[in-house]
């Protein structure tokens, strides 16, 4: 009888550890959503993160303060999905910025093709030339 009780206790501890890991993961997601908005104040950052993640500002504060003790599977999946959307949007902005930087750099260097980063051009015979 005692062995069965210990097994149930160990199972409860394992579930608790899993829950703690999940809450820690979600807390990281919330913290990463808050960070870009901190320059306009913490309250503003909480509200912006809440809007992006689809939860209340109070829930954002609870995650950051370590007050969250339970999370529904629906909420966990929603936060993960919203973070994926945020990262995809950030990737698009970064790629657009990179394209603009490459185009500007190519214009400064005088490159014909901004996608090639070498900066050297060749003449008709394949000999590198300084200017055309």
Q: Give the pLDDT confidence of 55-69 residue by residue, as tens digits.
A: 999 999 999 999 999
Residue 67, domain member (yes or no)? yes
Residue 121, domain member (yes or no)? no
Distance CA 56, CA 23 (A): 16
Residue 130, domain member (yes or no)? no
Containing structural domain, residue 108: 2-115
* Through-space distance between the first and last CA atoms of the chain, rounded to whole angstroms: 90
Residue 84, domain member (yes or no)? yes
Tokens of 96: 């657009």
Q: Give the pLDDT confidence of 77-107 residue by residue, as tens digits.
A: 999 999 999 999 999 999 999 999 999 999 9
Judged against a pLDDT cut of 90, whether residue 122 lies above it is answered with: no
Q: Say if pTM beats, i.e. exceeds, 0.85.
A: no
Distance CA 26, CA 85 (A): 15
Residue 36, domain member (yes or no)? yes
Q: What is the mean pLDDT of residues 49-59?
A: 97
Q: For the chain, what is the domain count?
A: 1
């Amino acid at each position: 009888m005692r062995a069965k009780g210990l097994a149930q206790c160990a199972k409860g501890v394992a579930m608790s550890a899993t829950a703690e890991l999940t809450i820690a993961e979600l807390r990281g997601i919330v913290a990463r959503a808050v960070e870009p908005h901190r320059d306009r104040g913490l309250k503003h950052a909480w509200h912006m993160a809440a809007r992006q993640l689809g939860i209340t500002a109070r829930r954002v504060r609870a995650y950051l303060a370590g007050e969250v003790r339970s999370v529904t599977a629906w909420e966990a999946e929603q936060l993960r999905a919203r973070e994926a959307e945020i990262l995809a949007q950030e990737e698009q902005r970064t790629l657009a910025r990179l394209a603009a930087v490459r185009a500007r750099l190519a214009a400064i260097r005088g490159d014909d093709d901004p996608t090639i980063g070498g900066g050297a051009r060749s003449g008709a015979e394949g000999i590198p030339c300084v200017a055309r």
